[in-house]
Amino acid sequence: MTGIRCPSARRPEQNKHRLADGWQGSTIRSILENPRYTGYAFFGRWARQEMLLDPDDVAAGHVTRFRRASADRVVRSRKPAHPEIISVEDFTAVQLARRSRAAGGLEARRKLERGPKATKWTYAFRGRVRCDHCKRKMEGTPRDTRIYYRCAARTLVPGSPALTDHPKNIYLPEAALLGPLNSYIHDAFSEDQRDATVDAMLGVAGDVNVNSQRTADAQRRLTQAKTRLARLTQAIEAGADLEALIEPLNRAREERDAAAEELARTPAGSELGRADVEALVDSLADAGRQVISASPARLQELYEEIGLELVYNAKERMVDVTIRPPRRVSTRVRGGT
């Protein structure tokens, strides 16, 4: 789609959680599978259903769900209602290709679904290493008996700004990071270093001010998303075209979920006292004792427990490490590979 900006680039204020680095395959697929983009108007593709929120507790009330309607209830306009983006022939070809693939049975259908790939290797930092150039997660890749985390420029979206200075391939050897990082975690949460770690997290012996601006921004985006959802729901109840509102509904839900996730990872209060930080350090002491001798599978669990996040800067050969337990204060350490 040359010259046409992707949705997150066209409306960045509504897609702050996205990179806006170009068209994604999932976005193009949704266009190819939506008959409205052929230029014709469609009505009745979705049906509203009222369901009990809790079948065991009628007093809990109802919740509205939208389900795809059966083909005999869908109505199409006789003439084009707006400019087309894809032709009817291309749309039909895509549907036939999808159906022929699905006809292959469960195994073929599974290949259409996204999900973690099965592998005989266990990557300790799986899903935790990001490339500083493009902010994407780096993928684990084995070479002989060694494990690396790689970010390949060829997998970037064509035209992405990150391509201007992104190396062809970026590799981070796991062995170079595993030992120093685990030693740091072990020492930082050991009994001997407990007070020093608490002081480092506080900055000084006293209260630490958490980033209230970030919390306020996330709360504002959450409120705006909930407001849009309420207005869209009211419009549907008033008789507005449901088909035209499905995409705005989905976008509002995505923004709501993204803001809620950010709030969940941000401390609820504006200040944490020394006692709060001491309790946090004590809760992570057991994880600190285990990292030295833990297996890669166990390390995945321990890193999840402490909220480990890594960003690799290949140019400086530095890894920025963040320990961010859920709903807790974070501390940062910087080290070379």
For the ranges 146-150, 206-210, 254-258, 306-310, the maximum mean pLDDT occurs at 146-150
CA dist 300 and 201 (Å) reads: 24
Using a 10 angstrom Cβ sphere, with 0-12 exposed, 13-18 middle and 19 or more buried, the burial of residue 97 is exposed
**What residues does each domain of the chain span?**
7-11+20-110, 129-208+272-336, 211-264
In this prediction, residue 261 has a pLDDT band, given cuts at 50, 70 and 90, of: confident
Of the candidate ranges 140-149, 171-180, 201-210, the one whose mean pLDDT is the lowest: 201-210
pLDDT at site 335: 45
Residue 279 CB partners (closer than 8 Å, separation 6+)? none
**Could you tell me where the beta strands, DSSP code E, fall in 129-215?**
129-131, 139-143, 146-152, 169-173, 208-209
Amino acid at 31: I
Whole-prediction pTM: 0.53
Amino acid at 252: A
Of the candidate ranges 167-181, 193-207, 216-230, 276-290, the one whose mean pLDDT is the lowest: 193-207
pLDDT tens, residue by residue, 144-179: 889 999 999 888 877 777 888 899 999 999 999 999
Asked whether the predicted pLDDT for residue 112 surpasses 60, the reply is: no
CA angle 187–191–193, rounded 5-degree value: 50
pLDDT at site 53: 74
pLDDT at site 216: 76
pLDDT at site 318: 92
- The conformational region for residue 62 under phi > 0 = left, psi -120 to 50 = alpha, else beta, is beta
In this prediction, residue 209 has a pLDDT band, given cuts at 50, 70 and 90, of: very low
pLDDT at site 207: 40
Amino acid at 144: D
CA dist 135 and 151 (Å) reads: 10
Asked whether the predicted pLDDT for residue 42 surpasses 80, the reply is: yes
In this prediction, residue 334 has a pLDDT band, given cuts at 50, 70 and 90, of: very low
Per the CB < 8 A criterion, the answer to whether 188 and 288 are in contact is yes
CA distances from residue 246 to 14, 67, 325 in whole angstroms, order as listed: 16, 11, 35
Residue 225 CB partners (closer than 8 Å, separation 6+)? 252, 253, 255, 256, 259
CA dist 9 and 12 (Å) reads: 5
DSSP 328: S
Tokens of 271: 């200040």
Q: Which residues are paired to 58 by β-bridges?
A: none
Phi, psi of 331 (to 5 degrees): -130, 155
Phi, psi of 18 (to 5 degrees): -115, 160
Residue 65 CB partners (closer than 8 Å, separation 6+)? 48, 49, 50, 51
Helix or strand holding residue 219 (H, E):
helix 212-237
Q: Which residues are paired to 273 by β-bridges?
A: none
Per the CB < 8 A criterion, the answer to whether 140 and 147 are in contact is yes
